[in-house]
């Protein structure tokens, strides 16, 4: 499970938390009033990892040359 820390506690000890993420390789969740707002993860130089994160995130357009948002123009009048 990922470690969680409040923003107020993170700020004065940020470098220590960065080193911990580097050393352990585990993510750190920063919270604000108990709600997660940031996630610090270790950086990877492996390009295949970046590709796997993006996999299935691209939307397929049936007709990419067709204008998008034509109905939005009516809202501007």
Domains, the chain: 1-51 (3.40.1620)
| Residue range 3-60, pLDDT digits in tens | 999 999 999 999 999 999 999 989 999 999 999 999 998 887 777 777 777 777 777 7
Euclidean distance between CA atoms 31 and 28, whole angstroms: 10
Task: Considering only residues 9 and 65, tell me which one the structure prediction assigns the higher pLDDT.
Answer: 9
Amino acid 34: pLDDT: 93
3-state secondary structure 27-60: CEEEEECCEEEEEECCCCCCHHHHHHHHCCCCCC
pTM given for the model: 0.58
Report helix, strand or coil for 4: strand
């Amino acid at each position: 499970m990922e470690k969680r820390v409040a923003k107020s506690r993170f700020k004065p000890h940020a470098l220590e938390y960065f080193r911990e993420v580097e050393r352990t390789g585990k993510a750190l969740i920063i919270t604000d009033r108990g709600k997660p707002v940031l996630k610090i993860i270790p950086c990877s130089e492996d390009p295949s990892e970046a590709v796997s994160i993006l996999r299935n995130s691209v939307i397929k357009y049936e007709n990419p040359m067709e204008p998008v948002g034509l109905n939005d123009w009516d809202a501007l009048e």
